[in-house]
Structure formats: structure tokens, C-alpha cells
Chains A and B, each alone.
Chain A
Amino acid sequence: MLVLARSVLLRAAIARARTGRGVSLRSPYRLFIVLTIVFALASQFGTGVQGQSIQRGAPAAKQLRTPWGEPDLQGIWNGETLTPLERPARFANRPVLTPEETAKLEADVAGRQGRDQRAARGTEKDVAGAYNQIFAQRGTRLADGRTSLIIDPSDGKIPPLTPEAQKRLSAVREYMEALLQGTSGGRPGPPSPRRNEPPPAYNVDRMNRADGPEDRSLMERCLAGTLPKLDAHYRIVQSPGQVGITVDWGQGSGFVRTIPVDGSKHLPSNIRFWKGDARGRWEGDTLVVDITNFSHKTEFRGSRQNLHLVERFKRVSENRLEYTVTVDDATTWTRPWTFMVPWERESDKANQIYESGCHEGNYGLLGMLANTRAAEKLFKQGKGRDPRTMDLATGGDIGGGIERDR
């Protein structure tokens, strides 16, 4: 109940942020008030993890079919989980924890100061960490006590990169490090001349330069609606031969997918989509979706336009759907790999799927560019620091889960 109340408040706060009023600029007080209530509730009543789920019941087989006879996947599904994609080293050879270990770990993470702790005030890291764990939309519970979402390979790790991919990714890393040279987050030295070069590949991450919008991350540009998307809420609607999925994710960075399940073929390979080109088919009770034709502007764990996903949606009971994805790109990994996330059904009546308004309220991107231009101007007038020596790319704390001890 408590977690549910917290979730409702939080999601309401997020929904306000999504209406485009710009939570960070126009109504910071509102978010502050809501977060204060959230933390007051959480601290008063503890951070129990019970009660968020709908009771699992034995479903009547009939309920799980659409009137036209297909497996019925419709409804709102919660795919947030505390289980990371890859198994942390400290859980090597422990794919599943005991219920006692699971409960203890979940309580540990939920009770951590890190969930709302700030870096030292006034530092660059503090500014960079304006979005903390609360915004990460990561779940509070492990998926069936599992320590990784990856089920193949059995060590729960993404397979090794191909030599080609290692070369590609290290070129990007070296470029990113060059941009940080001479800042608090990088190696010592003068600003690198590489600041005047374009990145080796279309930029998707936080990068220590703000010459134009393309220098900022896809998240900051409200373009991070890419696949596969974990830690989201999903609404599925079906009609004969079509499946629609609204993906509610990342503070209003959500997006919508339509999947033909009609035997049609993929588009020609010169047509590239941010979400790829998806074609579905039924294999027994499982919806199998094949996705190709990704854009080179998208990225998933180092894979770009050659990414090939095979998604499997299988509703195993009234309130549980298993979302299994096989990830393949021979130019990136030495073998395909597969992860599975259990999705839990949420109330249709509560209807907690919110419209994405990231782009409409994106004062942040404008602010980052405008502030950098202003800093350059001041520096030229001898009134401020060289903006090239400032770190705008590292810091923040939105990745911490069971990967670390504290």
C-alpha cells in the first residue's frame, strides 16, 4: 500500500513534469513539495516492498483470448525491475537469490541514502546530478530473485565484443575522454584540439561539449525512445493483425509502437527507423516480433544500425507476461544473447500510463546551449572560466542498484 501510494504520488509528479510546463524552470516548487511528501511517507512508514502487485490468480483460459481467438496481451504492464541487465560480479554463480536474501537486498537498496543523496553542493557533479534515482524509474524489486535479466549466456553477461566493435567503441571512448581533458572529470592537460572534430559516430551519450544540439545525449534531446526499452510501463492494445504498444518511460520520453502481425515483410533496407521495422507473428501463444532496419542514430549497448531484435511476448497468467528478447548483431557481439523481464499487470482503471511531453517541455536542452554560449562570451571578456575546462558530462547518480554494495 505504502509503495503504491508513493508510486501514485511520484507518477503524478512525473505526469506534471510531462505536461510541458517545464518542472525544472517553471514549477520547481511543485516537484519539491511532492518529493517532500513522498519522502515523508517513505520515512514514516518504512520502505516496504509489498502491496504493489495485483494478486496473482489462476486465470480462466477464456480470459486470456481476444474475441477473435488470439492470445490476449492487452492491458497495462509494469516492466520496472531492480534486477540489472547483467549480473554484477558480486553475484557470480548466483543467478537466483533465496527469498530471504532477495528481501534483504531490496530493503537495502530502498533504504539507501543514494536514492536521494546529492553530491557536495555547488560542485559540477551536483549540478550534473540534478536527476537522481527517483527519476530513474527503476523498480524496487528483483525479478523473481534473479541477479541478471540476461538468461543466455548462463553467466548473465553480455557476450564479448567483436574486434570490429571494440575498435569502434574505443574510438568513441577516446574521443569522449579527449573532450574531458583538463576538467575535473578527465585527465590533466590543456583542452584537446579534438574538440573541433565531429564525434567518430553519431553521438548518443553525454558528451563534454555543447556546440549544438547534436552534442547532447539522445535523452537530453528527447530522442531516447529506442528499443529495446527496459524499466518502463507498457499499454498493449490489439486488433486482428495489429498490436500497439504505448511505452511510458523516462520522464515523458515515452513513445508508441505499432506492430503488423499480418504476414507482411520488412521494409527495404534503405528505410531506417529509430524504432526499427517490426513484424510480428504468433508462435503458439507467443507473439514473436522481428525488428530490423534500425537507424545508425540509435544505440543499444554498442550496437547501431545492424541491431536485430527478436522479441517474445508470452502472457503466462492473468497478471504476468514474460518479455524475452534475443539480441543479435554479428558486427558487435561474438554471439547472440537473450534477456527476459517478467512484466506485472497493473490496474486498467487506475490507468497509470501518461502522455510523453519531453520535447514540448524541453527547456533543458535550450538552457545547456544558451548557458554554454553565455559562458564562452564571459570567458572572452575575461570574466569567467574557460568553459572548455568545465565538466558537464560526468556525475549524476541514476544507475545505482544492486550493482554496488552501498
Chain B
Amino acid sequence: MRGLSGFKRETVVALLTAVVISGIWLAKSQTEGRAQQPQNSRSPIPRTANGKPDFSGIWQANNGANWDLLTHSPRPMLGQPGMYPDVAVLAAPVVALGAVGWVPPDLGVVEGNEIPYQPWAAKRKQENLANWLDRDPEVWCYKPGVPRAMYMPYKFQIIQGTAKVMMVFEYAGAERTIHLDQVDPYPADAYMGHAVGHWEGDTLVTDVSSFTSQTWLDRSGDFHSDALHVVERYTPITRDAFRYEATIEDNKVFTRPWKISMPIYRRLEPNAQLMEFRCQEMAEETVLGHLRKNQLVKRWEGKTMRVDVTRKLPSGDAVYERHVDGNPPATR
């Protein structure tokens, strides 16, 4: 700086100081911004030792898919025609619930917003919807099946091991394992199916089969048969979200394969963990209450409303016939 006058030297020093300070300030604010927004899309995706995305963690979908895969307005959980034939009001089993008894609205998750049912199956779906409380396996705490388990309003945990990806669901303590290694075919049907997986770049692709005809896809009566075949794709979006896609194929029920897609989010609470929702016992009063020697549930009485309960149910084994399996009716 020998050639510079004192004024110029001071100017250069001031400029350099300003640049350094603003640089530090900029870097600091960026760091703070990241810390405050861990889901920032530029955060690196967690990876395993072999460089693949690590999906381990506690996750939960945040959408209306478990109520209805398709785009839907609010509607009574269980309704009946009111004063106007086309305007439903709450039906008896949920009448005390008021606004809580209405299905929250949401956009659908089905590509094209259409489920391509065969004619018999489209009719069955409508029957299922009308008889939702009688027929939905979720009401009885049955295992949710795939893909429904992935978007139920409960947390689930992924434990990504070296050769297996284990998924544990808070609802009913359901579990599924995705085999990344070679395993023999599953010798039976399974509610949660039998899944083998492989990587396509950063996407975990699974092939799921060996299903029962007993699980549903949502609370709107959408269903499948034992011919169900699901191909899932798990693709990281950010550190804390992945895109979940499932192609659903079932030649007994649908006319063509169809696809659902949604983001699934990490539960960011630092102490997030699965709790226990062992719902078998919770469903006992619904399923078996009519077989008690002394009936327990006869009446509910609040300050403004009284609901009297009369159960008239088929006896014995016929109770199970309230469920309708997803296979087509025999054609003979």
C-alpha cells in the first residue's frame, strides 16, 4: 500500500472491514436460518453407510387420504337424508358428535382423481360407504394393510437396517418388513403383504403382494381383493419429507393400475417416539358388547342430549358376516 495516500489507505481498510463483517453477518444469518428451518430443502438428506437415503425416523402423513382417497367436501361420517333429500344430516351412531362427526375436507391423492373400479366393484364400494361403521376393518382394529397403513392418522417408525427396512405402525401395533435381500416366497396371505425392495437411484422401490382380501384403502369403502399388487416408491424430498407413491393393481377389482401420491413428513419433535395404541381391547365393546351377560352400554346422557342405545345384532358367528371380503362374488 506504499503508493496510496493516507485517505485512500483508510478507505481501502474500511471497505475491506465492511466486506469481512458483512460476510460474517451473512454467513451467520444463513446458519441461523438453517437452524430455524431444519426442513430447508438444501439440508442434506441423511444417508446410510452405503450412500443410500436413510429413511429411519418417526413419520406421519398429514392429509385426508385415510378418510377418502379422492377429493372430498365435508360430509357426515355417517349420514341420512335430512329435510332435503340431497342434504345429509348426522345419523344416529354419530349424532352426539356435532361438527366432530363430519369428515374433514381435503384434496385427493389419486392421480386423475378417479379409482377405476370394475362395474360390480363400483357398486360394492357404494355399499361399503353406506355401511361404513359395519364394514370398515379399522373400526374393529384389524391390521390396516398397504398402502393404507402409510397414511393413517398415526405415527409410524422406520428402522432401516442393512438388509431389511422395518416399519412399525402405532395403530394396532402393525408391522411390515421390506426385504432388500433374497427371501423365499411368503407361504400364506398377510394383512400387511409381503414386500421385497430395491433401489433405483435415491428411490426405494418395493413390490408388495400375498395380500388378504380383508383390508380397505380408506374410510370411504375403497377396497381390493386378494389379487392386490402394490408397487411403492419412496423418494426423499428433503431431510424431513419423502414422496410416497403407490401403484395399485388388482385385476379382480379394477380395470387398470392406478396411482396415489403424497408427501410424508418427519415428526420433528426432538423426543418423537411411537406410543402404544393396542386397539384390540378398545374394539371389544363394539364387536362383542352385545354378548355380555349384563349389557354395559345402554345410554349416554349429557346436559343437553340423551342417547338411548338398543343393540339388535345377529348372534354368534353371523356377527363376522358384517364384514364383506374384497373378492368378487362367485360367478356361478
Residues of chain A having any CB pair with chain B under 8 Å = 12, 15-16, 18-20, 25, 66-68, 72, 74, 210-214, 221-223, 225, 235, 237-240, 242-244, 246, 255-256, 258, 260, 264, 271, 273-275, 348-351, 353-355, 357, 359-360, 363, 365-367, 369-374, 376
Residues of chain B having any CB pair with chain A under 8 Å = 48-50, 54, 56, 137, 141-143, 157-166, 168, 173, 175, 177, 179, 181-184, 186-192, 212, 214, 271, 273-276, 278, 280-281, 284, 287-289, 291-294, 296, 315-317, 319-320
**Do the beta carbons of B166 and A237 come within 8 Å of each other?**
yes
Looking at the assembled complex, report how far the CB atom of B161 sits from the nearest CB atom of chain A, in whole angstroms: 4
B212, B275, B276 interface centre (most CB from chain A within 10 Å): B276
Instruction: Give the residue name and chain of the A residue nearest to B187 (CB).
Output: A12
| Known contacts A68-B49, A350-B184, A355-B190: A213-B161 contact under CB 8 Å | no
In Å, the complex CA distance between A264 and B56 comes to 17
Instruction: Give the residue name and chain of the B residue nearest to A8 (CB).
Output: B187
**Do the beta carbons of B161 and A238 come within 8 Å of each other?**
yes
**Do the beta carbons of A74 and B273 come within 8 Å of each other?**
no
| A74 CB contact (under 8 Å) in B161, B287, B316 | B161
A349: which B residues are within 8 A, CB to CB?
A: 181-184
| Known contacts A68-B49, A212-B288: A359-B141 contact under CB 8 Å | yes
Question: Can you give 17 contacting A-B residue pairs, CB < 8 Å?
Answer: A18-B188, A19-B189, A19-B190, A19-B212, A212-B296, A239-B158, A240-B56, A244-B157, A258-B273, A349-B183, A350-B183, A351-B179, A351-B184, A353-B177, A354-B190, A357-B190, A376-B293
Looking at the assembled complex, report how far the CB atom of B117 sits from the nearest CB atom of chain A, in whole angstroms: 24
**Do the beta carbons of A246 and B212 come within 8 Å of each other?**
no
**Do the beta carbons of B161 and A274 come within 8 Å of each other?**
no
B48, B143, B278 interface centre (most CB from chain A within 10 Å): B278
In Å, the complex CA distance between A358 and B187 comes to 17
**Do the beta carbons of B161 and A239 come within 8 Å of each other?**
yes
9 further contact pairs, Cβ within 8 A, besides A67-B50, A360-B142? A237-B177, A238-B162, A244-B161, A256-B173, A260-B273, A355-B190, A366-B287, A374-B315, A376-B293
A66: which B residues are within 8 A, CB to CB?
A: 162
A210, A213, A235 interface centre (most CB from chain B within 10 Å): A213
| Known contacts A242-B56, A246-B177: A74-B293 contact under CB 8 Å | no
| Known contacts A258-B159, A349-B184, A354-B188: A274-B280 contact under CB 8 Å | no
**Do the beta carbons of A16 and B293 come within 8 Å of each other?**
no
Q: Sorted from nearest, which 6 A-B pairs have the closest CB atoms? A: A67-B49, A369-B291, A237-B161, A211-B293, A239-B56, A256-B175
In Å, the complex CA distance between A151 and B9 comes to 83
Instruction: Give the residue name and chain of the B residue nearest to A351 (CB).
Output: B183
In Å, the complex CA distance between A318 and B173 comes to 30
Instruction: Give the residue name and chain of the B residue nearest to A362 (CB).
Output: B280
Looking at the assembled complex, report how far the CB atom of A371 sits from the nearest CB atom of chain B, in whole angstroms: 8
Instruction: Give the residue name and chain of the A residue nearest to B293 (CB).
Output: A211
**Do the beta carbons of A373 and B291 come within 8 Å of each other?**
yes
Looking at the assembled complex, report how far the CB atom of B296 sits from the nearest CB atom of chain A, in whole angstroms: 8
A74: which B residues are within 8 A, CB to CB?
A: 161-164
Looking at the assembled complex, report how far the CB atom of B87 sits from the nearest CB atom of chain A, in whole angstroms: 38
| Known contacts A18-B188, A19-B189, A360-B214: A213-B181 contact under CB 8 Å | no
Instruction: Give the residue name and chain of the A residue nearest to B170 (CB).
Output: A258
| Known contacts A351-B183, A355-B190: A366-B316 contact under CB 8 Å | yes
B168: which A residues are within 8 A, CB to CB?
A: 244, 256, 258
A243: which B residues are within 8 A, CB to CB?
A: 159
**Do the beta carbons of A15 and B187 come within 8 Å of each other?**
yes
B275: which A residues are within 8 A, CB to CB?
A: 271, 273
A72: which B residues are within 8 A, CB to CB?
A: 162
**Do the beta carbons of A366 and B273 come within 8 Å of each other?**
no
**Do the beta carbons of A223 and B188 come within 8 Å of each other?**
no
Instruction: Give the residue name and chain of the B residue nearest to A368 (CB).
Output: B291
Looking at the assembled complex, report how far the CB atom of A223 sits from the nearest CB atom of chain B, in whole angstroms: 6
**Do the beta carbons of A355 and B160 come within 8 Å of each other?**
no
Instruction: Give the residue name and chain of the B residue nearest to A264 (CB).
Output: B271
| A357 CB contact (under 8 Å) in B164, B191, B284 | B191
Instruction: Give the residue name and chain of the A residue nearest to B280 (CB).
Output: A359
**Do the beta carbons of A366 and B288 come within 8 Å of each other?**
yes
A238: which B residues are within 8 A, CB to CB?
A: 159, 161-162
In Å, the complex CA distance between A390 and B308 comes to 35
In Å, the complex CA distance between A238 and B160 comes to 7
Looking at the assembled complex, report how far the CB atom of A194 sits from the nearest CB atom of chain B, in whole angstroms: 15
In Å, the complex CA distance between A242 and B159 comes to 7
A242, A354, A370 interface centre (most CB from chain B within 10 Å): A242
**Do the beta carbons of A20 and B292 come within 8 Å of each other?**
no
**Do the beta carbons of B281 and A221 come within 8 Å of each other?**
yes
Instruction: Give the residue name and chain of the A residue nearest to B142 (CB).
Output: A360
| B191 CB contact (under 8 Å) in A211, A223, A360, A366 | A360
Instruction: Give the residue name and chain of the B residue nearest to A67 (CB).
Output: B49
In Å, the complex CA distance between A19 and B276 comes to 23
Instruction: Give the residue name and chain of the B residue nearest to A218 (CB).
Output: B281
